[in-house]
Amino acid sequence: MPNSPQTSTLGLKPYQGAWTALQSKHLLNRTMFGAKAADINYFTTKGVAATVDELLNVPTTLPTPPLNDFTSATVTDPNVPLGSTWINDVSLDGTINANRRNTYKKWLLSVCVGQARNIQEKLTFFWSNHFGTEADTINYGTMVYHHHQILRKNCLGNFKQMVRDITTDPGMLRYLNGYLNTKNAPDENYGRELQELYTVGKDGGAKYSEDDVKTAARVLTGWKLDAAFNAVFDSTRHDTANKTFSPYYSSKIILGKTGASGALETDELMNMIFENTDVAKFICRKLYRYFVYYYIDTNVENNIIIPLANTFISNNYNIKPVLKQLLQSEHFYDSLYIGCQIKSPLDHVVGFLRQYEINFPNAVSDHVDAYFLYNYMVSQLNSMGQSPVDPPNVAGWPAYYQTPDFNELWINADTLPKRNKFTDLMIETGYTKNGKKIIVNTVQFAKTVCASPSDPNALIDSLFSFLTATEIDVSLKKTLKTQILLSGQTSDYYWTDAWNLYLANPTTINYNTVHTRLKALLKYIMNLPDYQLQ
């Protein structure tokens, strides 16, 4: 058997070490989808406590909603003109909903690329994976949008309230057949996933019983969707008998209720589940695996998970205090955890677009061209195994839960070449729509990440420092400098002179001299295994 990964013995004491670009970048790569050079520089001046506080300060207003970008001679959305939002217009048309779902994905990419300096988008995605729903199964674009906005609005709020909101969310009612759950035909889908995937979990073997699943389903009978796709409670469909749970839930009895009061049983079910401390530990393990590392041994369980769970419980299941404690901890900044994660496709694609500050058309004022170009990014994610808002099943993407491989599942003989092809393409040709091109500006990028790009040594160091999270062998840097920047020569001035000549006289020939070398260097760096880590 392979050796188990090494884990840190450091705990949750506040980090007191050096606060440099290395620690700043590490934190930003875990809490945002990639970091721009300006983001790293900005937070490096702040210190750990102020940085974490700012990252955990998320806006209360939602982003400008997705807009209709697909009305054409062949497809029309009769109630929603081109350029207007469809989020509150219910349509039963399959073609319209397919287009709305696709529009949502393109819009979501635009939001992630343009994210502000906070944790909201990275954390919203965490919860969307935790409450795994497949957009294609929900079908209706309005439901998909409103489901995910619950997660965005509550991403740092109260977890118990979020579970309650999700339980009667129309998208979830449709996805797990909650709207079909009646006293005469109880449907156990949501009652099962509520416990197995969303709250108490199965760590160490499921301790709740199969009868608990059936009993929870009985509690939740009566919820349905009205003609406008709102969640409503129909007391005639509700099981009014008493519901008795197993000793795992202290043999709790939820008394059956009639009429509109039957809906109150749902709240009693939430209260019962959250009295169990397994909820806090299960969620803290998932947060740890997402933000730190997938491997949890007894040392991490005792020094990190249990104290975080206690924080969770003592703060009435508010999420923010838990993340603040984790992200400020000495454990989080242990060198073992810097560069230990394999990037997800979202981290890879969106992180690249943000690192290189790729300029898309404005997603509001020029949404048709913007969405067209973002659709290429959605296609890239699909090919790499992470279609936005469409995980493979209710458990989410296996890379976040499948032991023992976890995030190693992102890389295989099919997906790695596709990752490399994407970065190569964005360096070489990019994509164009109506004369608007998204492509890496190699010269501007060199100026952005390096204070002295005319110095080949400083440039090489700066590029590796910004693009990779691990230490790179000095001999490799030297080889790349000689073979690429110096075009096989030995003296540094072969690069310095070329750079300075371009600055003094930016002709096409002089530009191509430095651009060609930078392209080759950047492609080489991003094809290294180290670039896949964060």
How far is it, in rounded angstroms, from Cα 65 to Cα 89? 13
Q: Looking up tokens 């290429």, which residue turns up?
A: 376
Do residues 105 and 388 make contact, with C-beta atoms less than 8 angstroms apart? yes
Tokens describing residue 266: 């749902």
| Residue 436 near residue 361, CB atoms below 8 Å | yes
Encoded tokens for 267: 């709240």
Tokens, residue 493: 């001035």
Q: Record the tokens describing residue 298, joined without a space.
A: 């007894």
Whether 361 maps to a domain, the answer reads: no
Residue 350 lies inside a defined structural domain of this protein: no
Q: Report how far apart, in Å, the C-alpha atoms of 171 and of each of 139, 148, 197, 397, 455 are.
A: 9, 9, 17, 19, 55
Q: What is the model's pLDDT at position 147? A: 98
State the SS3 of 220-241.
CCCEEECCCCCEEECHHHCCCC
The C-alpha angle with vertex 286 and arms to 354 and 410, in degrees rounded to 5, equals 50
pLDDT at 4: 80
Q: Which two tokens stand for residue 377?
A: 């990014």
The Cα–Cα gap between 215 and 244 comes to: 7
Residue 205 predicted with pLDDT over 90: no
- Whether residue 449 lies inside any domain: the answer is yes
Question: Are 327 and 291 within 8 A, CB to CB?
Answer: yes
Place of tokens 């998208």: 171
pLDDT of residue 135: 97
- DSSP-based three-state secondary structure for 270: helix
* Section 240-247 average pLDDT: 98
Reference 495, options 505, 506, 508, 482; nearest CA is: 482
Q: Over the chain, what is the mean pLDDT?
A: 97
| Sign of CA pseudo-dihedral 197, 203, 206, 208 | negative
Full domain range(s) for residue 519: 442-532
**pLDDT over 70 percentage in the chain:** 99
User: What is the per-residue pLDDT across 183-198, written as a single tens digit (0 to 9) for each?
Assistant: 999 999 999 999 999 9
- Residue 417's Cβ-count burial label (10 Å; 0-12, 13-18, 19+) is exposed
Task: Please state the separation of Cα 144 from the chain's center in Å.
Answer: 16
pLDDT at 71: 82
Q: How many CB atoms neighbour CB 504 within 10 A? A: 8
Task: Give residue 380's pLDDT.
Answer: 98
Q: Calculate mean pLDDT across residues 64-81.
A: 91
Residue 407, pLDDT above cutoff 70: yes
Q: Is the pLDDT of residue 2 over 70?
A: no
Torsion sign, CA atoms 102, 192, 317, 310: negative
Segment 362-400, tens digit of pLDDT: 999 999 999 999 999 999 999 999 999 999 999 999 999
Residue 504 maps to a domain: yes
Report the distance separating Cα 20 and Cα 41, nearest Å: 9
* Cβ neighbours for 23, distance < 8 A, ≥ 6 positions apart: 15, 17, 48, 333
pLDDT given for residue 1 in this prediction: 38
Judge whether 212 and 245 are in contact, CB under 8 Å: yes
Give 507's Cβ-side CA count (13 Å radius): 5
Band the pLDDT of 204: cuts 50, 70, 90: confident
Cα separations in angstroms, 518 against 348, 442, 471: 20, 6, 21
Contact 525, 481 (CB under 8 A): no
Half-sphere exposure of 67 (CA within 13 A, CB side): 20
* pLDDT tens digits for range 250-281: 999 999 999 999 999 999 999 999 999 999 99
Dihedral sign for Cα 376, 377, 382, 388, please: negative
Two tokens, residue 30: 């875990």
Asked whether the bond before 65 is cis by omega within 30 degrees of 0, the reply is no
For the four alpha carbons of 467, 291, 349 and 54, in that order, the dihedral sign comes to negative
Task: Answer whether 453's CB lies under 8 Å from 447's CB.
Answer: yes
- Within a domain: residue 11? no
Cα separation, 239 vs 241, whole angstroms: 6
Domain-embedded: residue 99:
no
User: Is residue 20, in this structure, part of any structural domain at all?
Assistant: no
In this structure, the number of other CB atoms found within 10 A of the CB of residue 282 comes to 21
Structural domain includes residue 523: yes
Residue whose C-alpha is closest to residue 60's, from 165, 154, 164: 154
pTM (whole model) above 0.85? yes
Report d(CA 323, CA 427) in Å as an integer: 36
User: CB neighbours (10 Å) of residue 407?
Assistant: 23
Residue 144 pLDDT > 50: yes
- Give the C-alpha separation, 381 to 105, whole Å: 11
Domain count within the chain:
1
| Cα–Cα distance, 284 to 304 (Å, whole number) | 9
